[in-house]
Structures are given as C-alpha cells and as structure tokens.
Structure 1
Amino acid sequence: MTTFLTELPPGTQEKGIFSLGDLDRDEVHQLVRRACDFQHDMGAHDRPLSGRVAGILFTKTSTRTRTAFTTAAVRLGAAPITFGPNDLQTNTGESIADTGRILGCMLDLLVARTAGPLDELRAISRSGDIPVVNAMAAEEHPTQGICDLATVALCRGEVDGARIHYLGEGNNTAIALAQGIAHFSGCTLTLATPKGYGLPADVLQSAAERAARLGTSITEVHSPDELPGEADFVYTTRWQTTGTTKPDADWRERFLPFYVDDALMSRWPQARFLHDLPAHRGEEVAGSVLDGNRSMAWEQARMKLTSAMSTLEWLADRL
C-alpha cells in the first residue's frame, strides 16, 4: 500500500505540454487548428473529458489563463478542482515529488502555474505519472503561444507566411511565440528587445535553426528602427512580467523606445496589434492602439478559452 509513495513506476516519464519546442509540427498545427475550430463553435466536441478530474493549480496571479482552463475543463466534461497559492502542503515543506505522487493518484490531469521553474512541473508529472500543462513558467508560456498563433490564423486564414514584429522583453510569451512559429513555414518573426533583455541565446538559436528548415526566419534586434518594413502583426507585452523584477534600477529608460503608439504603428498601416494582457496603457502601449480598430487584443484574450479547450482535448486523447 505504501509502495506508490516511495517508488516511481519503472520507466515513468513526464507527459503533457511544457514547451512548444517539445512538440512536433503536426501536434502544434493540430492545437492551433482546433483552437480556431472552437472559436467558431465551442460545442464542436464530444465532451472528451467526461468522467475525468482536472486539477487547476495556480500559485501566481491569473485572470485569463486560470479562468480559461477552468471553463475549458467544464465545457469538455471534466470536474475541475482548483488550488490557490496557500492550499497545498508544499507550503509546509512537502516536496514537489511527494506532492506529484499524491496528485497523480487522485487526478487525471493537472494544469499548473507555480512560482518555481519549469523543472518543477516536469517533476510533478514524472512523480505522479500525470499529464501536466504548463500554464506559465518563467521559461515559457506555451498555451499563450498556442493562443497567439491561433489568433494569427483566425485573422489571416493561416499562420504560414505571417510577418510578426514583437517589441519588448524577451519573456516567456516571446519565447513561446518563437518556439511555436518555428513549426510553420515562410514566416518572419523579428523580436525587438532592449539590450540585456532578449531571449536566452540558446533558446533563440534552437528555435531559429528549427524554423530555418521550414523557410521561417526568427531574428532579434535591439532597436525598433531595425524592424523590417513590412508586418502583418505588431505584438507587445507588459514590460513588468508577472512575478519578476528587473536587475537595473533604470530599466524603464531602456524600454521607452519600444513603446507602441500610433506613430510607431503608422510604419505598418496594414498591421494588426496583438497583446497578451494585462496591459498598462501609457507604458508599453498607448490606449489608442490597444483599444483601436486595428487591435486584436480582445479577440486574442477570448481565444485563451478556445486554446485551453484545444489543449485539454489534445491531452484527452493521451490519457
């Protein structure tokens, strides 16, 4: 009776969605396609999680992602159990491995955003032999990437060939966008980041190399003046990413040139605007851009739900 708590099953491996770089091209395309399908018809499924129990663990703040996954679980037939930052015995010193073992013997899947690194989510999956969805870690926000690419597909009919300019910090959203778009062909992603605030060099190199095999370009520059002359989308995120701090006191001065206002958007008069929200009007983006007629940010936010449905449906096929 106690073996489960002291030993892992032979050959236990992590399973779920941790990084879009872990998935193959067909899997990412399916996730994006189904998110678009659900945007047109949220009832386009056969309740694949009926009879299942989904854990929703968020130890950091969330409006869109937590609501989206809880609602998605219900719509797909699962019974969700939600956990907040003070609900588990990890607060009293229980290890991540032991926590994973307990969750794995009671839940069918887990959606998690924790204060720790991505390796903690992988450890929960291995320890509990349970599928885990990374609902945002410091290293990457993969379900945001699915949402972003689905928004692009919904807007222009496909992701292939999309030209995206990203401005701001090379944070977990930017990493997910790079990892995700590397699975599509003929795209151009240019990331304009302040010096010292770009994507980790190894992540950028790996994504760019995979993308190049499909004729997609992923590059990083350090001034908006270096952005190409054509774009389908201009994307920014909040400068102060949830739960993070900047190492230098004058960081705002470095970010000011990356402010997205009407003057910047006029360089690409046909481009749509994207933002993962929450937004700080007057900081990373002007209110006239965020709330203007070229903004897709609110449709993008709605697609957090359909992307969550797509993700959980994908997991259901693997339970």
Structure 2
Amino acid sequence: MAQSLEQKFVFTGRDFLDLDDYTSEELRYLLDLAIDLKKKQKAGEVYHPLKGKTLGMIFEKSSTRTRVSFEVGMYQLGGHALFLSRNDLQIGRGEPISDTAQVLARYLDGIMIRTFAHTTLTDLAKYANIPVINALTDWSHPCQAMADYQTVLEEKGRLEGLKIAFVGDGNNMAHSLMMGAAKFGMTCAIASPEGYWPADEMTKKSQEVASQTGGHILVTADPKEAIADADIVYTDVWASMGMEEEQKIREKAFAAYQVNEELVRYAKPDYMFLHCLPAHRGEEVSAGVIDGRNSRIFDEAENRLHAQKAIMAAIM
C-alpha cells in the first residue's frame, strides 16, 4: 500500500511543520500509513525503511511522550535517534539558529524540534536542507493532532462528518485540531473563555479550508454549545508549559470549562474522550471522565508512535 501510494504523492525531503502545508489527501495517506505501520509492528514484522539514517531531536521543552515515541519510532524504522537538549547545543549559548541548522544538516538525515517560538522552527527549516518535523511549538502541535485523528479513524471508521469539541484554552493544540478537522471535512467546535480563544489567523484559515471540504469551524464561549452532539470530546491543561505563573489566574478563568460528567451528557452517548497529556485530574477534566469507559487517552498516546513513524518514513 505504502509503495503504490507514495508514487501518487511526493513526500521525500519535505518538512512537516503544520497540517496546512499538506493537502487533505496527503494527510489521509499518512493516517492510513500510520495504521499500516501499527499493524506491522503488532505482528512483529521487521520494517526498516530508514536503515542507516539518523534523526536529531532538539528539545527546548521537556517531554515524556515526544522523546520516547520519536526515539522508539526511529529504532523500529531501522534508524537512530540522537537526543539534543538546549544545554547540549550552542543555540543555548547564542549561536544563530541558521548556523546550527546548516551544521546539523551535514550530519543528520532529519531534525525534530520541540520548542517555544514557532519562528525557531521555521528558521530551522529555512536553513536546514533536510526534513524538519514540528514536535510542538507555542503555535501548533501537528504530530499530536495526527495521532488524535488516527485514534478517531481506528474507532469510528471515518473522519468526514464527525464532530470534535475542544473545551479549554485556544492554544497550540486547539490550532492543530481545528486545522486537522477542516482538512478532514469534520466539524470542530472550540469552547474557550473570551480572551483565550484561538488566534484569529488560524480560525480564519481553518474556516477557509473547511468551506472546501464540507467541514465547519465554530469558536464559542459556551462549552455546552460546543459539546452538543459531539463524537469526540477533547481538552488540554489550562496552563501550558511556560505559562505556570498564570496557573491561578487561569484556574479562575476556566472554572466553568471543566470537562466532567455533567458536561459530557451533551455529547453523543458513544463519544470518545481524548487528552494530549499530561492531565490534571480535578482541573480541566474530572477523574470520572478521563478514567471512564469513553476515554481513549492511552490508545491516543500510543498512536503518537505510529503517526510519527508514518511521517518520518514518508519524508525521510
């Protein structure tokens, strides 16, 4: 499957910075490839398309799932992953990202970066002549969104026409879920307090894409409106990494936005609950919901491995 479809799309050498850089058909191919690679791994089938290749993993933000999934993923694809923290690199001491990018491109076959400023990612991609993967910036989290939609596709059997409701901060996760829903012809409803809505630029861009795919994008301050008849219910922490000093302010602002048993009654009975993790039980989500029968958070976490393997196999 992968080989025949690879001839239809050109992935090799491309960056994976944001979902809007790829067509709906390309993204769906990557989801199908992720599911195929997952089946291979579960069956114990050896598949080494990246044998002899090395991925550099730059971490300016710490992570559990990102580091382990990319490192294991490269190993399973036959390659090698090299962990590089900010303290390991000269960019931590003021070296221009352009110099770092051009040097690393002489050693590596691909770079994954988890950072704060989105411009750090785009500058790295500009100066590195090898594929660069966005493993999270303050603007977007496309690899997580791909794992999320893989999880939905596996359980629901389709994406088009489904509704995903995101309740919480209109952050990087909301941005990528919104664009992904638009690409896949889904309805995406974001419920956030005013002042915490997704960026207008991303909302408008997602709405433009949705108008071409049959999807629909809604941003509201009413969590009940967002979650009504939802097939997927999603939330994230109220204070993302780097915003810890705002924790108390955000707890007050988001007090009415907890995803709990009362709120999910407005969703469809067979809704899926997703969370990108780590989660704070009793804050953005109740224990009863995140640990309940509708929760798929660990299937979702596992799919970070498979979705990212598909991305790496395609572009590297």
Q: TM-score, normalised by structure 1?
A: 0.90
CA distance in 2, matches of 1:238, 1:44: 37
Give the aligned partner of residue 184 of structure 2.
184
Give the aligned partner of residue 118 of structure 1.
118
Give the aligned partner of residue 51 of structure 1.
52
User: 1:113/1:229 Cα in 2 relative to 1: closer, same or farther (>3 Å)?
Assistant: closer
How does 1:28-107 map onto structure 2 within 5 Å?
A: 28-42=27-41, 46-107=47-108
CA distance in 1, matches of 2:263, 2:37: 33
How does 1:184-203 map onto structure 2 within 5 Å?
A: 184-185=184-185, 187-203=186-202
Q: Give the CA deviation at 1:39.
A: 3.0
> Is 1:211 equivalent to 2:203 in the alignment?
no
- One-letter code aligned to 1:255: F
What's the secondary structure of 1:278's corresponding residue? coil
Give the aligned partner of residue 153 of structure 2.
153
CA distance in 2, matches of 1:78, 1:34: 18
> Is 1:275 equivalent to 2:275 in the alignment?
yes
Q: Give the CA deviation at 1:37.
A: 2.2
Give the aligned partner of residue 264 of structure 1.
263
User: 1:45/1:194 Cα in 2 relative to 1: closer, same or farther (>3 Å)?
Assistant: farther
Q: Give the CA deviation at 1:262.
A: 1.1
CA distance in 2, matches of 1:267, 1:183: 25
Q: Give the CA deviation at 1:33.
A: 1.5
Q: Can you give the 5+ residue segments of structure 2 that lack an aligned partner in the other structure? A: 1-12
Q: Give the CA deviation at 1:158.
A: 1.4
CA distance in 2, matches of 1:193, 1:246: 20
CA distance in 2, matches of 1:125, 1:229: 40
Query: Would you say the 8 A contact 2:102–2:127 is kept in 1?
Result: yes
Give the aligned partner of residue 250 of structure 2.
251
CA distance in 2, matches of 1:127, 1:301: 32
Q: Can you give the 5+ residue segments of structure 1 that lack an aligned partner in the other structure? A: 1-13
Query: Would you say the 8 A contact 1:15–1:126 is kept in 2?
Result: no
CA distance in 2, matches of 1:158, 1:38: 18
Q: TM-score, normalised by structure 2?
A: 0.91
Q: Give the CA deviation at 1:290.
A: 0.7
Alignment root-mean-square deviation, CA = 1.7
Query: Would you say the 8 A contact 1:223–1:257 is kept in 2?
Result: no
User: 1:18/1:210 Cα in 2 relative to 1: closer, same or farther (>3 Å)?
Assistant: same
Higher helix share: 2
CA distance in 1, matches of 2:75, 2:90: 26
